[in-house]
């Protein structure tokens, strides 16, 4: 059996049903085998970065490993941003790149790049396959590594002579033998007991949960633990959906644009129990001032994360699902009446709010809130990066895990549309909505054509405020309102300090995204009036195929609350300080 056939057979044995990618010269032997393979669907994207984000969205929404096929050279390098995005957010994908022949490696051959070197720091593991006999083992190991322990991307670089070589005694391996890779799933029982004892002695305990809850499918055990202990919960951006937004113990998302109640809870708690979160700087602020009154417990399957950012008093290395199950067995039924009363007071005192009636133009929060009206609990919301991403975290009503997909760690603009496309392919019977900005949508806008050609019925909501909104917000608040290169409509004739509403800008339609959508075969809509917003959403969401809604919103609305970079969790801006 040839290497190309071994590759496809291995993927079938690993349960792969979909591949995203783009062909090229050295990958023709592999695509030739795919031509007659019925078990795997191939989605031909319009860019390799789009393919990688699509595989990411497929993986996040299902828990399965996403797969990408691209060619060598520029095809391979175009996957770099998608691989780094998956690495930062612990997403299992396997990226197979073509490579020049083994004899040509190192000679600067046509379309040669050192993918092993390029991906070493952004992959969980990578391979350069030098002989066809190694290929079956590499495939087996790649899928195991990608989706075990702390998930992450794996790169496989395949020279063209390897895929053309034959292996007469091919047999796909049934077992894995990786002596240096043994993820600890079962947390040490004595450490779990220490944590249970700390909970017993605490008066103001706080759960701080992250994407690890979702990756380990620990949401049910999390809810059981909360039901027994009544400990209030704050959740990172990556953990949204692991606890329903309306759960009585859910305080909210902390961090730079988190809710005030969650940030104040961090400053007041006496025991902080982190489960599946990595103490991101957008949440901790200055690490030396973070949760100063609290003893800190950290549950994580990756031992490298424990103690990396903040001093940990009770480390527990293990799978979140396992640890929560054992911890629930050990703890007592509790109430924490005064502490939970304090959380309720904070939530009432500092609610998220906006007032659309006080504004002539559509507020972006109102446009995003409208998505709630046209989706059910199992809808998958995928965002790009920027102001709209934070408003989605604040106002979308998440009730289930794997319903919120976003680039958190890397903050990748251009992620939203292709990731939503991948999620929709993986979940054809569910509503998938991509919410993006007029900056982010243009970074992978070519994937509209992929949606149209494959009839992938993603609904794309573009929050068009004419700016790179999050950068403009920082310029507004901290750089004296000098909007340097953040207005997407600015021409040489525009004033340097344009602060008027959208309606006063003669260039506000450039580009016309409604027409761009139509040119790519996607049903396009534009809405400018508050009074037309709901009926436009109704028409777009009723359309059976892919649709894009360009929502022209007030261009100077900022995201609040906000903790400025370098400030403590209780140093919050609420928007009325200027």
Q: What is the C-alpha to C-alpha distance for residues 489 and 203, in angstroms, rounded to an integer?
A: 54
pLDDT value at position 491?
Answer: 83
H or E element in which residue 50 lies: helix 48-62
Domain end position, chosen among 310, 326, 349: 349
Nearest Cα residue to 407 out of 398, 418, 399, 396: 418
Helices and strands in the chain, H and E counts:
22, 18
Q: Is it the case that residue 504 has pLDDT exceeding 70? A: no
pLDDT value at position 496?
Answer: 67
Q: What angle do CA 469, 471, 473 make, to 5 degrees?
A: 65
pLDDT value at position 8?
Answer: 98
For residue range 415-465, list pLDDT tens digits in order: 999 999 999 999 999 999 999 999 999 999 999 999 999 999 999 999 999
129 in a structural domain: yes
Average pLDDT score over the chain: 95
pLDDT value at position 501?
Answer: 55
557 in a structural domain: no
The mean pLDDT value for 59-76 works out to 98
pLDDT value at position 240?
Answer: 97
Give the number of other CB atoms < 10 A from CB of residue 23.
Answer: 18
Q: What angle do CA 155, 159, 160 make, to 5 degrees?
A: 130
Domain match, 334 and 479 both? no
Phi/psi at 209 (5° precision): -110, 150
Residue whose token pair is 């750089």: 479
560 in a structural domain: no
Of the two residues 507 and 264, the one the predictor is more confident about is 264
Domain match, 193 and 125 both? no
The mean pLDDT value for 21-30 works out to 98
Three-state DSSP class for 78? Answer: coil
pLDDT value at position 497?
Answer: 63
For residue range 287-340, list pLDDT tens digits in order: 889 999 999 999 999 999 999 999 999 999 999 999 999 999 999 999 999 999
- How does residue 135 score in pLDDT terms, banded at 50, 70 and 90? very high
CB proximity list for 203: less than 8 A, separation 6 or greater: 270, 336, 338, 339
pLDDT value at position 500?
Answer: 56
Domain match, 338 and 439 both? no
Domain end position, chosen among 349, 370, 393: 349
Distance spanning both ends of the chain, measured CA to CA: 70
Domain of 79 in residue numbering reads as 3-164
H or E element in which residue 60 lies: helix 48-62
pLDDT value at position 406?
Answer: 98
H or E element in which residue 118 lies: helix 115-119
Domain match, 297 and 267 both? yes
CB proximity list for 112: less than 8 A, separation 6 or greater: 72, 73, 99, 100, 104, 105
- How does residue 495 score in pLDDT terms, banded at 50, 70 and 90? confident
Domain match, 521 and 422 both? yes
Domain match, 100 and 57 both? yes
pLDDT value at position 510?
Answer: 81
For residue range 233-246, list pLDDT tens digits in order: 999 999 999 999 99
Q: Is the separation of the CB atoms in 79 and 97 below 8 Å? A: yes
For residue range 140-172, list pLDDT tens digits in order: 999 999 999 999 999 999 999 999 999 999 999
The mean pLDDT value for 193-205 works out to 97
Domain match, 417 and 297 both? no
pLDDT value at position 354?
Answer: 94
Among 89-103, 257-271, 294-308, 472-486, the minimum mean pLDDT is found in: 472-486
Q: Is 471 exposed, middle or buried, given 0-12, 13-18 or 19+ CB atoms closer than 10 A?
A: middle
Q: Is it the case that residue 577 has pLDDT exceeding 60? A: no
Domain match, 447 and 520 both? yes
pTM above 0.85, yes or no: yes
The mean pLDDT value for 7-21 works out to 98
Domain match, 297 and 380 both? no
The mean pLDDT value for 173-193 works out to 95
Half-sphere exposure of 441 (CA within 13 A, CB side): 27
Domain match, 109 and 208 both? no
- Alpha helices for 170-319 (secondary structure H): 189-201, 211-215, 219-229, 260-268, 281-284
**CATH code, domain with 87:** 3.40.50.970
The mean pLDDT value for 463-490 works out to 91
Q: What is the C-alpha to C-alpha distance for residues 204 and 229, in angstroms, rounded to an integer?
A: 12
Q: What is the C-alpha to C-alpha distance for residues 222 and 217, in angstroms, rounded to an integer?
A: 10
CB proximity list for 393: less than 8 A, separation 6 or greater: 237, 240, 253, 257, 404, 406
Identify any residues that bridge with 548 across adjacent strands, giving them in sequence order: 460, 524
- Is the N-terminal amide bond of 511 cis, ω within 30° of 0? yes
Number of domains in the chain: 3
568 in a structural domain: no
The mean pLDDT value for 375-381 works out to 97
Q: What angle do CA 46, 52, 54 make, to 5 degrees?
A: 75
pLDDT value at position 506?
Answer: 72
Domain match, 21 and 155 both? yes
Cα dihedral 431, 435, 441, 446, rounded to 10, equals 0
- Alpha helices for 334-481 (secondary structure H): 337-349, 364-373, 387-395, 416-426, 447-453, 469-478
């Amino acid at each position: 059996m040839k290497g190309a056939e071994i590759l496809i057979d291995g993927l079938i044995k690993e349960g792969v049903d979909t591949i995203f990618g783009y062909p090229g010269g050295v990958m023709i032997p592999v695509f030739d085998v795919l031509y007659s393979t019925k078990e795997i669907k191939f989605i031909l994207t319009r860019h390799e970065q789009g393919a990688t984000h699509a595989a990411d969205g497929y993986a996040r929404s299902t828990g399965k490993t996403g797969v990408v096929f691209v060619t060598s050279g520029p095809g391979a390098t175009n996957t770099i941003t998608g691989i780094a995005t998956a690495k930062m957010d612990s997403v299992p994908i396997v990226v197979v790149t073509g490579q020049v022949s083994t004899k040509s490696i190192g000679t600067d051959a046509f379309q040669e790049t050192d993918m092993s070197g390029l991906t070493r720091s952004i992959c969980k593991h990578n391979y350069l396959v030098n002989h066809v006999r190694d290929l079956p083992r590499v495939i087996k190991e790649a899928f195991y590594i990608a989706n075990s322990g702390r998930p992450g991307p794996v790169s496989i670089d395949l020279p063209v002579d390897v895929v053309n070589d034959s292996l007469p005694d091919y047999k796909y391996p049934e077992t894995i033998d990786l002596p240096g890779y043994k993820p600890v799933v079962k947390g040490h029982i004595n450490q779990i007991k220490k944590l249970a004892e700390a909970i017993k002695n605490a008066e103001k305990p706080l759960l701080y949960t992250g994407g690890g809850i979702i990756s380990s499918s620990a949401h049910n055990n999390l809810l059981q633990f909360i039901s027994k202990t009544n400990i209030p919960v704050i959740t990172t951006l990556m953990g949204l959906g692991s606890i329903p937004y309306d759960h009585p113990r859910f305080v909210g998302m902390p961090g730079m644009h988190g809710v005030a109640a969650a940030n104040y809870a961090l400053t007041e708690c006496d025991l902080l129990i982190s489960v599946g979160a990595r103490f991101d700087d957008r949440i901790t602020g200055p690490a030396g001032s973070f949760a100063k009154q609290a003893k800190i417990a950290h549950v994580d399957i990756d031992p490298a994360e424990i103690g990396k950012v903040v001093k940990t008093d009770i480390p527990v290395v293990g799978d979140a699902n396992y640890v929560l199950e054992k911890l629930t067995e050990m703890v007592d039924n509790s109430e924490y009446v005064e502490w939970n009363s304090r959380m309720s007071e904070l939530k009432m005192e500092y609610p998220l709010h906006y007032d659309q009636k006080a504004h002539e133009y559509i507020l972006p929060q109102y446009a995003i809130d409208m998505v709630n009206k046209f989706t059910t609990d199992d809808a998958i919301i995928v965002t790009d990066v920027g102001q709209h991403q934070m408003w989605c975290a604040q106002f979308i009503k998440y009730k289930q895990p794997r319903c919120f997909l976003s680039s958190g760690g890397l903050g990748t603009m251009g992620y939203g549309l292709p990731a939503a496309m991948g999620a929709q392919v993986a979940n054809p019977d569910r509503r998938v909505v991509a919410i993006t900005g007029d900056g982010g949508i243009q970074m992978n806008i070519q994937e509209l054509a992929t949606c149209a050609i494959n009839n992938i019925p993603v609904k794309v909501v573009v929050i068009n405020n004419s700016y790179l909104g999050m950068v403009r917000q920082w310029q507004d608040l901290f750089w004296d309102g000098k909007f340097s290169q953040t207005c997407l409509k600015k021409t040489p004739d525009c004033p340097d300090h344009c602060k008027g509403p959208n309606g006063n800008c003669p260039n506000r339609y450039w580009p016309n995204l409604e027409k761009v959508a139509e040119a790519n075969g996607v049903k396009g809509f534009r809405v400018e009036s508050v009074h037309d917003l709901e009926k436009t959403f109704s028409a777009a969401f009723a359309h059976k195929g892919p649709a894009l809604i360009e929502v022209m919103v007030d261009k100077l609305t900022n995201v609040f609350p906000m903790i400025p970079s370098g400030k403590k969790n209780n140093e919050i801006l609420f928007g009325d300080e200027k």
